[in-house]
């Protein structure tokens, strides 16, 4: 039986979520209809909105339903940029961390290429942390031209947790709105939208045991966004489209479950994470860990994140070898146009390209237990040895004649 260690990509739906969604899918009703079935569907949506808001420290009116994290990020970054530029044509500069998910990075690239935006990247330190002082320095280049600041709450590759409240405070000193992608943080870290002060926050259902295809953008009532879609005017006019009532209910059920059990589950996952990290380091091979990795730390690193760098090794080869041994994980690197590339996160952290190519990300979740850790540590040595042999053979075969 495979050992699933890729919960950062998607985590299996919780049984209670599957049951709730199946029940809801059997009931007709469009939440925008005025008849009895429509009103019943609307009641489910609004009760779900209240549940999700409570789990994230927000008001129900601040919850905007979307199709997932990517749409929420696009609505936040593009919608804010368009509105801010319309209000003041000078505001065309985006301040964004260099280690964002591609849902933000590619959105920024689009705005730069097609909408006249300019970008100031904020580089992380070697542990993947964004220093609020660097955000301040970026803003102070010219506060009058900044449209927004966007920094993710916790990194999806190396697991580093960012000081979002401090960064938000810096942005607000200059009257600049702040967006944070909290897709990886939700369910693993305490999230209080009101307390942290951010203006916009992205979350997704399938990272917490909810369904695929549903997410939320928390948007403060006083934040003005330009909608990206037009239609029926649902969700405060910010996101038109018929609401997926079953998926919304499923996300609400998942939110309630992970919120209630978060502290205990974080400690449980951190214990498994630390066993996995220690075992990998003890295996030899000069393996190193990316990001903060103090034992028991659930504040600076995601509790279920293990990110390893294996020298003299191609991460893709290692991934396939582990997969053949029943270990399902990822490299955490992007693959563009079919060409494997080293992670932009690792490169931004100052990891040499050759070292970055040996990245391996393992992420734990609600189905993970000691048997998953043991299976990975048992499969690791043979997989590394074979991957390193293949790496060295490939380099030798690539040498020009005469060498």
Annotated catalytic sites, by residue? 335
- Residue 271 — φ and ψ, nearest 5°? -65, -45
Q: CB–CB of 320/399 below 8 Å?
A: no
- Token readout for 202 is 């992205």
Q: CB–CB of 5/362 below 8 Å?
A: yes
Dump the DSSP string for 82-112.
Answer: HHHHHH-TT--EEEEETT--HHHHHHHHHHH
Report d(CA 191, CA 57) in Å as an integer: 7
Our CA angle for 72, 359, 209, nearest 5°, is: 40
Which residue is listed with tokens 């905007």?
Answer: 64
In terms of Cα–Cα distance, which of 391, 390, 380 is closest to 308? Answer: 380
Which residue is listed with tokens 């589950």?
Answer: 265
Report d(CA 355, CA 341) in Å as an integer: 12
Dump the DSSP string for 10-55.
Answer: --PPPHHHHHHHHHHHTS---TT--SHHHHHHHHHHHHHHHHHHHH
Residue 261: partners with Cβ closer than 8 Å, 6 or more residues away: none
Across the strands, what pairs with 176?
A: none
Report d(CA 17, CA 166) in Å as an integer: 35
Q: CB–CB of 122/167 below 8 Å?
A: no
> Can you say whether the dihedral through the CA atoms of 184, 185, 186, 187 is positive or negative?
positive
* 316 CB burial (10 A radius; 0-12, 13-18, 19+): middle
């Amino acid at each position: 039986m495979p050992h699933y260690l890729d919960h950062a990509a998607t985590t299996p739906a919780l049984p209670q979520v599957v049951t709730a969604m199946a029940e809801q899918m059997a009931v007709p009703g469009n939440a925008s209809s005025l008849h009895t079935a429509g009103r019943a569907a609307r009641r489910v949506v609004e009760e779900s909105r209240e549940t999700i808001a409570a789990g994230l420290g927000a008001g129900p009116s601040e919850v905007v339903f979307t199709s997932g994290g990517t749409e929420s990020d696009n609505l936040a970054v593009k919608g804010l940029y368009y509105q801010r530029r319309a209000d003041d044509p000078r505001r065309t500069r985006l301040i964004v961390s260099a280690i964002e998910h591609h849902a933000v990075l590619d959105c920024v690239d689009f705005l730069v290429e097609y909408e006249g935006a300019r970008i100031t990247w904020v580089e992380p330190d070697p542990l993947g942390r964004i220093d609020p002082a660097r955000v301040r320095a970026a803003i102070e280049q010219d506060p009058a031209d900044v449209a927004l600041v966007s920094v993710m709450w916790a990194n999806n590759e190396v697991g580093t947790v960012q000081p979002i409240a401090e960064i938000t405070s810096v942005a607000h000193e200059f009257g600049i709105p702040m967006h944070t992608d909290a897709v990886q943080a939700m369910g693993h870290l305490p999230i209080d939208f009101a307390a942290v002060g951010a203006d916009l926050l992205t979350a997704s259902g399938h990272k917490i045991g909810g369904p695929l295809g549903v997410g939320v953008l928390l948007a403060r009532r006083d934040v003005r966004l330009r909608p990206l879609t037009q239609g029926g005017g649902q969700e405060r006019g910010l996101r038109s489209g018929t609401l997926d009532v079953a998926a919304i209910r499923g996300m609400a059920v998942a939110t309630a479950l992970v919120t209630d059990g978060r502290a205990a589950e974080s400690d449980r996952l951190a214990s498994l994470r630390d066993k996995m990290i220690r075992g990998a380091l003890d295996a030899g091979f000069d393996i190193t860990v990316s990001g903060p990795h103090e034992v028991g730390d659930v504040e600076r690193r995601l509790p279920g994140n293990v990110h390893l760098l294996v020298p003299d090794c191609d991460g893709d080869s290692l991934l396939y070898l582990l997969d053949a041994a029943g270990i399902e994980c990822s490299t955490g690197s992007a693959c563009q146009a079919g060409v494997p590339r080293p992670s932009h996160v690792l490169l931004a952290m100052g990891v040499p390209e050759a070292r970055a190519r040996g990245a391996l990300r393992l992420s734990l979740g609600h189905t993970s237990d000691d048997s998953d850790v043991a299976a990975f540590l048992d499969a690791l040595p043979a997989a590394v040895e074979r991957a390193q042999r293949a790496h060295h053979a490939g380099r030798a075969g690539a040498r020009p004649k005469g060498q």
